[in-house]
Amino acid sequence: MTGSIDIERRDHVAWLVINDEAKHNAMSLGMWQSLAQHMQALEADPQVRVVVLRGAGSKAFVSGANISEFEQVRGSAQATESYNAAVAAAQSALARARMPVIAAISGICFGGGMGLALSCDIRYASRDARFRIPAARLGLAYAYDGVRALLQQLRPADLAEVLFAARIFQADEAQRAGMVNTLCDDVFGHAEAMAQTIAQNAPLSVAAAKRAMRDILAGQAETDAMRAMAVACFDSEDYKEGRLAFAEKRQPAFRGR
C-alpha cells in the first residue's frame, strides 16, 4: 500500500497522521480504507476523547487523491463507485464519531483533503495553508455524498465557487468562507492545546453535543437516542463530579461515566 495512516496517543487524545510525504500525503485507496478502520477502533476505545487529524510534515495536510493509481482503482464507472464508497466511509467515520475530531491543516489541502478537513468538527490551519477542489479541472464529478457534506459546512455560494472555479483559496480567504476556524502560527501546537482542553471536559456531555449538532444539521428531529444521551449525562457520575468540583473550586476529574 502506498502511504500509511499512523496513530500517536497523548493522554486521551489520539493523533491520526496521514503519511506519504513524498507525494504530499496524497490518499491512496488503501489509506482511505485504513483511515476508516482506525476511526472504528478509536470509536470503540473509551479512553479516546478527542481525535486530531494531520498530514505528515508541514508542506501538506492532504494534496488530494493519489492520481497515479487512478487507472487501476478508478478506471471504470464500477471501480469509481467502489472508490467513492471508501472515501465516503472515511469521511463519515470522522463526521459521525462520538468524539470531536480536529483537523490540523498545514500547507496544501486539496481535493479529498478538503473533504476530509470539512468532515472534522473543528479546523485549524497554518497561515500558509491553501485549499482547492480541482475536480472540474480533472473532468471528475464530485461525489453526491461529498457535495452534501460540503454543503453542511459552507454557504452554497461559497461552495459553488469552490466547485465551479476550482481555484486555490489562500488561508485568509478560506477562513472568511468558513472552511477553517482559526489561522495559527503553530497549528499543531494550537490543535494539541485545544484537544487537551476538550479532553478534560465530560465525555458524555461532549458526545451529546456533537450528536445534537449533527442531527440538527441533517434536519432531523430529536430522537429517542438523542434524548437518552442527554438523560445519561444527568444520571452520570461525571455530573456529580462536576457539581462537587465546582463547589470545591477545583478542576473536575471526569471519567466518562
Do 175 and 240 reside in the same domain of the chain? Answer: no
Do 11 and 61 reside in the same domain of the chain? Answer: yes
Rounded to whole angstroms, the Cα distance separating 106 from 189 reads 12
Residue 148: per-residue pLDDT: 83
With both helix axes pointing from N to C terminus, report the angle between 77-95 and 112-119 in degrees, rounded to the nearest 10. 30
The dihedral over CA atoms of 177, 181, 183, 188, expressed in degrees to the nearest 10, equals -140
Rounded to whole angstroms, the Cα distance separating 119 from 45 reads 21
Do 218 and 102 reside in the same domain of the chain? Answer: no
Tell me the three cell numbers of residue 154.
459552507
Rounded to whole angstroms, the Cα distance separating 195 from 14 reads 9
Q: Which of the listed residues 198, 217, 238 is the one where a domain comes to its end?
A: 198
Domain hosting 8: range is 4-198
Do 44 and 142 reside in the same domain of the chain? Answer: yes
Residue 81: per-residue pLDDT: 80
Do 136 and 218 reside in the same domain of the chain? Answer: no
Tell me the three cell numbers of residue 156.
452554497
How large is the C-alpha radius of gyration of the chain? 19
The dihedral over CA atoms of 96, 100, 105, 111, expressed in degrees to the nearest 10, equals 10
Residue 51's CATH number: 3.90.226.10
Do 65 and 78 reside in the same domain of the chain? Answer: yes
Residue 71: per-residue pLDDT: 67
Concatenating the DSSP letter of every residue in 160-222 gives HHHHHH-PPEEHHHHHHTTS-SEEESSHHHHHHHHHHHHHTS-HHHHHHHHHHHHHHHTTPPP
The dihedral over CA atoms of 212, 213, 219, 222, expressed in degrees to the nearest 10, equals 10
Per-residue pLDDT of the chain (257 residues; tens, 9 = 90+): 579 999 999 889 999 999 999 999 999 999 999 999 999 999 999 999 999 999 999 999 999 877 777 766 666 677 778 888 899 899 999 999 999 999 999 999 999 899 999 999 999 999 999 999 988 888 877 778 778 888 888 889 999 999 999 999 999 999 999 899 999 999 999 999 999 999 999 999 999 999 998 888 878 888 888 889 889 899 998 888 889 889 988 888 888 88
Do 55 and 108 reside in the same domain of the chain? Answer: yes
pLDDT tens readout for residues 27-41: 999 999 999 999 999
φ, ψ dihedrals at 167, nearest 5°: -90, 165
Residue 7: per-residue pLDDT: 96
User: Is 257 within a domain?
Assistant: no
Any residues with CB less than 8 A from the CB of 121 and at least 6 apart, and which? 100, 101, 102, 210
Q: Closest Cα to residue 203, out of 52, 53, 95, 100?
A: 100
Rounded to whole angstroms, the Cα distance separating 172 from 169 reads 8
Say if pTM beats, i.e. exceeds, 0.85: yes
User: Is 252 within a domain?
Assistant: no
User: Is 127 within a domain?
Assistant: yes
Instruction: Return the residue matching grid coordinates 507525494.
Output: 23
User: Is 254 within a domain?
Assistant: no
The tally of domains found in the chain comes to 2
Do 188 and 220 reside in the same domain of the chain? Answer: no
